[in-house]
Chain A
Amino acid sequence: MTIAGPTPKRYDCIVIGGGHNGLVCAAYLARSRRRVLVLEAAQQVGGAAVTREFAPGYQVSSCAHLLHLMPHAMMQELSLHAQGLRLAHDAIPTTALSPAGAPLSLDVDACHALASACSADALAYPKYVTRLQRLARALRPVITNVPPRLGTDRWSDRLALLRLAWHVRRLGRRDMRELLRIIGMNVYDLLEEHFDTPLLKGALGFDAVLGTSFGPRSPGTVLTLLYRLAAQGDGARIAQPVGGLGALTDALAKAAAAAGAQIRTGCAVGRIDVQDDRVRGVTLKSGEAIAADVVISSCDPQTTFLGLLGTEHLDTGFVRRVTHLRTRGLAAKLHLALDELPAFIGVTPAALAGRLIVAPSLEYIERAYNHAKYGEFSSEPILEITMPTVNDASLAPPGKHVLSAIVQYAPYALAAGWEHERQRFMDLAIGTIERYAPGLRRAITCAELLTPVDIEREFRITGGHWHHVDLAFDQFFMVRPLPGAAQYQTPVAGLYLCGAGCHPGGGVMGMAGRNAARQVLKKAA
């Protein structure tokens, strides 16, 4: 399928992959009058931000299920609302489910339940949130900008480092000291310093380990938490688009096409063509060759370098680093088609429209994580549950509902193999939810579990990790995804990366796509 106008003979830029980052990149390039072609292997655009039917009449955002990282400015720049993007809910609340007792709202303004549980925590919580947001704000330029390179003589690199240092310095002495103290810490120790209530600590720690390969006691989990806050930006809220995340990428595709980009779906790229150490275009699996001066890959780095480019164009040391990237996901996705709205104990209708967290304590999370270290799935997993049909009835037949949940930890390389264990883990995940929503099982008409292995297959992500490359200190910022390819450029002239494996990483953010487009334009200028 081709979206938009006549096909030119050659393109300035080819974007491999029509996920949100690829589409954002294409849109920005097209707006700068580049002739852009987006090639998507699947039959529809969207990548891991896509809505699909998983049971007759039931739709779900099949990988990412919430929108909270894409900057408001980007959505405005690309006129996504004009392209049909509507939000079903633009300020989704977060509620921590308790196995014994009332659930706890994490809204700073509405933590009455916390006051009754522990008055000290109720006082400390708003302070903690404000301070963390202040620290996150200092890291904001880290998230939004193209990372500088170390050891160059270029003023732009030095300036970027200075600007970062200035933002940190501007925090003032106390906050700067606190930032430097906690940034390498684990989130367990940080939360232990602040709070007593296990349910609160569990829910706050949950966000630090969601989508990572860490437990709360793993070093660097304060960084992942601050990263999440910094990426969300000021006053950011968690939103749910009408029609699921696929509606966002549909709007992005329309924005790109409106700017002049061509989008072809069902076109799997076989290889990236290189001649004389320069990219010349791509050859599709069908054998069709398409020429372009610049190729930007939104695929994960291993797919790009090892699969599409080929090691013969790369140095051995670089290939070694690519193969050593930690790319194995630990998050599974559970989709349930339900006859009726499940009755979560004590959860208000307003809360049911939001995120429900199953992580009753930090110890619970750590125990869940222990299994993953040894290639087993958690016997008591942690979950982020949403009921998208509460906000958007169009996703299911009238009166029916969809439950979409992220289930952790489900290691990609399960020792016993997923083929035999998928059903058992799905039962276990459903059983875990049922503890908070008795009678859930009765309402299920269809269930689907996507393990990281399924995510790898369905979304073409090596390792099935939604960040493509695990987000950790050594795979972050100036060394993300790896030295030699950390500024969206690669060792091969004309080949760029724009996927989640690049800085600032995954989540439906689009920043990697926008930054990559900037680099391409800068190089040409």
Chain B
Amino acid sequence: MHVAPHFKQPLLKTPFHERSRAFSQQDSFIAWAGYTTVDVFSSVEQEYFAIRNATTVYDLTPMVKYRIAGAGATAYLNRLVTRDVSKLKPLRVAYCLWCDDAGHLIDDGTIFRLGESEYRLCTGERQLDWLLDSAIGFDVKITEVTAEIAALSVQGPTSCAALKDFGMTGIETLKPFEIRHFVVDGKCIMGSRTGFTGDLGYELWMPLDHAEPVWDGLMAAGRARGIRPIGSKALNVARIEAGFIMPNVDFVSAERTIHTGRARSPLELGLGWLVDFKKGHFTGRRALVAEERRGARRRLVGLDIEGNKPAHNSLLYADRGATREVGSVTSAVWSPTCKRNLALAMLDAPHFDVGASVWAEIYLNRELRWERRVARAHVVERPFYAPERRRATPAGDY
């Protein structure tokens, strides 16, 4: 029998695909890590406001998942990522970065410590080659388990209440970045208080055959809490408000850049707090030590831009006359909750300190007539939006 090579085969369907399709008004699907997923169900605005005011469900299954286990797993991860994984306790999650030898970011992701010597690494893109080469000399086994685990992100102020109603008893006591196993209707679900929205929220991890019953049960239980599925476009608005970066948007993986000088270090991305120079050696450490000593040449910052026109792809200048270029915008959005015109931008030294201001060149398409604006942009603290409820434990019952 002739089997088409993988690159000719259709995108995979997640175990939530049939349910997503039933909800999809726009029938708008996009590719993500080999799967087809929804980018918008009905309208980005409705879905976005559900994140900030009710409960949303986002199909996280395509997130690439690796099982990392063995006596050397902790040592392995500590050499891989820039944070000190030995401080991560079992049933806790940490957001981590990993770099190449030059200290340039390869990717970011979350590490779930499932047991004493068992971890799960979740990341947006496939990394097996790098992970296996990093395993040389370590007693560790790395297996991709993406296709074995269904995952749902349940986010929003009423998410805790909705999950409680669904049967995840006691979830309100789950602390941020904590993991707990729940049994609902005889089904084992792993819950973690994690997410990409900067709001109160959880991620649910389960075997594939639990996917549809869990979806159905959750939708029924969450009706009173305004539950609805969302696509990646609405999530993108929330993540910019939360100040989170996206691969291939705010940085390009060092393993994939072609032009010299396009790879970015964690220090340049403003993620220096995730780099632990004291924990011992990790890949890229020597380069990062040298970079820190040298001082940053550029940095990813948050911008608050005057006016209400999102500064998509804008070039940034030191002067109003837009003659001295000092950077560019990587992500931009009008924030409906903050009522601010926000952006993430890469700025050259010395313009990247909080309090500095630059000028953004914004192009507007007004009924096919292009207009150009130069708006003042202020470097501000990230995250732009960080409600107390995202951390409060026990979580609020809204």
* A320-B133, A323-B136 given; A313·B101 CB < 8 A: no
B281 at the A/B interface (Cβ < 8 Å)?
A: yes
Evaluate contact between B75 and A319: CB separation under 8 angstroms: no
Q: Please, how many angstroms separate the alpha-carbon atoms of A314 and B284 in the complex?
A: 9
Measured between beta carbons, the chain A residues less than 8 angstroms from B134 are: 316, 319
- Chain B proximity mask over A268-298: 1 for CB below 8 Å, otherwise 0: 0000000001000000000000000000000
Q: Residue B101 contacts which of A310, A311, A315 (CB distance < 8 angstroms)?
A: A315
> Which chain A residue lies CB-closest to B106?
A316
Measured between beta carbons, the chain A residues less than 8 angstroms from B284 are: 315
Evaluate contact between A311 and B137: CB separation under 8 angstroms: yes
Evaluate contact between A317 and B100: CB separation under 8 angstroms: yes
A491 at the A/B interface (Cβ < 8 Å)?
A: yes
Cβ distance A154 to chain B, nearest Cβ, rounded Å: 15
Q: Residue A315 contacts which of B137, B138, B283 (CB distance < 8 angstroms)?
A: B283
Q: Please, how many angstroms separate the alpha-carbon atoms of A310 and B137 in the complex?
A: 7
Q: Residue A311 contacts which of B130, B138, B280, B286 (CB distance < 8 angstroms)?
A: B138
> Which chain B residue lies CB-closest to A483?
B101
Q: Residue B283 contacts which of A277, A317, A484 (CB distance < 8 angstroms)?
A: A317
* A316-B101, A491-B286 given; A277·B136 CB < 8 A: no
B79 at the A/B interface (Cβ < 8 Å)?
A: yes
Q: Residue B281 contacts which of A277, A306, A484 (CB distance < 8 angstroms)?
A: A277
Measured between beta carbons, the chain B residues less than 8 angstroms from A312 are: 75, 79, 137-138, 280-281
Measured between beta carbons, the chain B residues less than 8 angstroms from A316 are: 79-80, 100-101, 130, 133-134, 283
Cβ distance B282 to chain A, nearest Cβ, rounded Å: 8
Measured between beta carbons, the chain A residues less than 8 angstroms from B133 are: 316, 319-320, 323
Cβ distance A277 to chain B, nearest Cβ, rounded Å: 6
Cβ distance B243 to chain A, nearest Cβ, rounded Å: 29
Cβ distance A369 to chain B, nearest Cβ, rounded Å: 31
Which residues of B271-315 have CB atoms within 8 Å of chain A's CB atoms? 280-281, 283-286
Interface size on B, residues (CB 8 A): 17
Evaluate contact between A317 and B101: CB separation under 8 angstroms: yes
Q: Please, how many angstroms separate the alpha-carbon atoms of A144 and B209 in the complex?
A: 68
Of B80, B138, B281, which is in contact with the most chain A CB atoms at under 10 Å from its CB? B281
Measured between beta carbons, the chain B residues less than 8 angstroms from A314 are: 281
Q: Please, how many angstroms separate the alpha-carbon atoms of A314 and B101 in the complex?
A: 9
A318 at the A/B interface (Cβ < 8 Å)?
A: yes
Measured between beta carbons, the chain A residues less than 8 angstroms from B283 are: 315-317
Q: Please, how many angstroms separate the alpha-carbon atoms of A306 and B136 in the complex?
A: 8
Cβ distance A416 to chain B, nearest Cβ, rounded Å: 28
> Which chain A residue lies CB-closest to B131?
A316
Measured between beta carbons, the chain A residues less than 8 angstroms from B137 are: 306, 310-312, 319
* A310-B137, A312-B138 given; A318·B281 CB < 8 A: no
> Which chain B residue lies CB-closest to A276?
B280
Measured between beta carbons, the chain A residues less than 8 angstroms from B136 are: 306, 311, 319-320, 323
> Which chain A residue lies CB-closest to B137?
A311
Q: Please, how many angstroms separate the alpha-carbon atoms of A306 and B80 in the complex?
A: 17
Measured between beta carbons, the chain B residues less than 8 angstroms from A318 are: 101
Q: Please, how many angstroms separate the alpha-carbon atoms of A313 and B79 in the complex?
A: 8
Which residues of A309-334 have CB atoms within 8 Å of chain B's CB atoms? 310-320, 323
Q: Please, how many angstroms separate the alpha-carbon atoms of A314 and B138 in the complex?
A: 12
Measured between beta carbons, the chain B residues less than 8 angstroms from A315 are: 100-101, 283-286
Cβ distance B288 to chain A, nearest Cβ, rounded Å: 11
Of A313, A317, A484, which is in contact with the most chain B CB atoms at under 10 Å from its CB? A317
> Which chain A residue lies CB-closest to B282?
A315
Measured between beta carbons, the chain A residues less than 8 angstroms from B101 are: 315-318, 484
> Which chain A residue lies CB-closest to B134?
A316
Q: Please, how many angstroms separate the alpha-carbon atoms of A320 and B133 in the complex?
A: 6
> Which chain B residue lies CB-closest to A307?
B137
Q: Please, how many angstroms separate the alpha-carbon atoms of A500 and B110 in the complex?
A: 44
> Which chain B residue lies CB-closest to A277?
B281
Cβ distance A78 to chain B, nearest Cβ, rounded Å: 36
Q: Please, how many angstroms separate the alpha-carbon atoms of A317 and B286 in the complex?
A: 13
Of A320, A323, A491, which is in contact with the most chain B CB atoms at under 10 Å from its CB? A320
Measured between beta carbons, the chain B residues less than 8 angstroms from A323 are: 133, 136
- Chain B proximity mask over A486-497: 1 for CB below 8 Å, otherwise 0: 000001000000
Q: Please, how many angstroms separate the alpha-carbon atoms of A318 and B284 in the complex?
A: 10
Q: Please, how many angstroms separate the alpha-carbon atoms of A377 and B134 in the complex?
A: 35
Q: Please, how many angstroms separate the alpha-carbon atoms of A314 and B79 in the complex?
A: 9
Measured between beta carbons, the chain A residues less than 8 angstroms from B130 are: 316
Which residues of B62-76 have CB atoms within 8 Å of chain A's CB atoms? 75
Which residues of B83-135 have CB atoms within 8 Å of chain A's CB atoms? 100-101, 130, 133-134
Cβ distance A137 to chain B, nearest Cβ, rounded Å: 37
Q: Please, how many angstroms separate the alpha-carbon atoms of A21 and B77 in the complex?
A: 37
Q: Please, how many angstroms separate the alpha-carbon atoms of A317 and B284 in the complex?
A: 9
Q: Please, how many angstroms separate the alpha-carbon atoms of A318 and B286 in the complex?
A: 12
Q: Please, how many angstroms separate the alpha-carbon atoms of A484 and B101 in the complex?
A: 10
Measured between beta carbons, the chain B residues less than 8 angstroms from A484 are: 101
Cβ distance A270 to chain B, nearest Cβ, rounded Å: 15
Which residues of B313-336 have CB atoms within 8 Å of chain A's CB atoms? none
Which residues of B39-79 have CB atoms within 8 Å of chain A's CB atoms? 75, 79
Cβ distance A99 to chain B, nearest Cβ, rounded Å: 47
20 additional A-B pairs beyond A316-B133, A491-B286, beta carbons within 8 Å, are A277-B285, A311-B137, A312-B79, A312-B138, A312-B281, A313-B281, A314-B281, A315-B284, A315-B285, A315-B286, A316-B79, A316-B80, A316-B100, A316-B134, A319-B134, A319-B137, A320-B133, A323-B133, A323-B136, A484-B101
**Ranked 3 nearest A-B pairs via Cβ:** A311-B137, A317-B101, A315-B101
| Selected A-B contacts with CB under 8 Å, 10 pairs | A312-B137, A313-B281, A315-B101, A315-B284, A317-B283, A319-B133, A319-B137, A323-B133, A323-B136, A491-B286
